[in-house]
Structure 1
Amino acid sequence: MAQQDEEVIVSPTGWVAEQARVYEESGGTEGHETRGVTCLLLDYRGRRTGQWRRTVLIYGRDGDDYLVVASNGGNDEHPLWYRNLVDEPDVRLRVGTEERFAARAETLSAEEKARVWPGLVGLFAPYADYQAKTDRDIPVVRLSRTGN
């Protein structure tokens, strides 16, 4: 897990980097919500470099777990963060004002995705458009707390 003094590389996408900066610097009091939906900070390990990386993702809930959608805006390729999670599922999250905590990422089965997908589309309607735009089955990832 990323230690407090370990460098974390923030997404190179400008608006993501800015939201991540505001989110982290405010301790989650700002940046937690955008476009009417709640977001979390996801730190994950790069599969080639081993460096910690950070992105901001919209999330849903399933019991105590968090759900994120690897939509990549409906592009035909999985987002890089998702490809990294497949190789290294141990991550760290910040959700709102909670301190960072360890979690484990797991791609949902087709049956589990079918159960939660309507709620995720209800949370962020563009997900349905993204899925319609690509032949790729857009993964849904469960993030389960594993510790502090």
Structure 2
Amino acid sequence: MPSNFALKTMNTAHRVLLKVSCGKLGNEFGGMPSVELVTTGRKSGREHAVLLTAPIVDGDTYVVVASRGGDPTHPAWFLNLRDNPNVLVSVRGGPRLPMTAHIATPQERAALWPRVTAQHKGYAGYQEKTTREIPLVLLTPVGNPASN
């Protein structure tokens, strides 16, 4: 399982790649758009930004996976949005837009998980590494009926 240091190092490297390439590299990985997710810290109240990928894009809804590489604990960003679903999202280096994070219900996850793993086998491997069910999170623009 990746350590916090390793995860932060990967995030920093991703940001550097985006910056030095003027956004030409790092906006997509494995066919998935990169998404910067900004949450509000559940303890600190401060903004925290993390770069993720979205294996499913349905219109203006982005689905992200709280896998943390198959770690037995949820990522901090997931815990933050669980407590406060009001987030900011930037897709492929675009502007940060207000969105609502919605943790997939069991029925939604049952429909979405096979789509995620069909195209991105690594997520299935992460699920095999852990006993926790890896959550999926739907990010929808504020004002979109799906976000309410």
Q: Could you say which TM-score interval applies, normalised by the shorter chain?
A: 0.7 to 0.9
* Per-residue deviation, 1:26: 6.4
**Post-superposition offset of 1:27:** 6.9
SS at match of 1:94: strand
2:26 aligned to 16, 31, 39, which one? 31
The answer to whether structure 1 residue 136 and structure 2 residue 108 are counterparts is no
Q: 1:55 & 1:20 partners in 2: Cα distance?
A: 10
Which of residues 32, 37, 56 in structure 2 aligns to 1:42? 37
CA RMSD, 1 decimal: 2.2
- For 1:126, give the aligned amino acid: G
Q: Partner amino acid for 1:74?
A: G
Structure 1 unmatched runs, 5+: 1-10
Aligned to 1:114: 110
Q: Deviations over 1:11-50 (max 9, x none)?
A: 9711212213443676744321134432111111111111
After TM superposition, the structure 1 stretch with the greater mean CA deviation from structure 2, 34-43 or 58-67, is 34-43
Deviation at 1:104, TM superposition (A): 0.5
Distance 2:111 2:7 in 1: 33
The number of equivalent residue pairs is 137
Partner of 2:71 in structure 1?
75
Check whether the contact 1:71–1:79 (CA below 8 A) recurs between aligned residues: yes
TM value normalised by structure 1: 0.82
Q: Secondary structure at the match of 1:122?
A: helix
- What 5-or-longer segments of structure 2 have no aligned partner? 1-5, 144-148
Q: Is the 8 A contact 1:92 1:102 kept in 2?
A: yes
Q: Is 1:53 the counterpart of 2:48 in the alignment?
A: yes
SS at match of 1:135: coil
Q: Residues 45 and 25 (structure 1 numbering): CA distance in 2 closer, same or farther, change over 3 Å?
A: farther
Q: TM-score, normalised by structure 2?
A: 0.82
Amino acid at match of 2:15: A
Shift of 1:131: 0.9
Q: Return the offset for 1:146.
A: 1.0
**Cα distance in 2 between the residues matched to 1:112 and 1:12:** 28
Percentage identity across paired residues of the two chains: 34
| Residue in 1 that maps onto 2:81 | 85
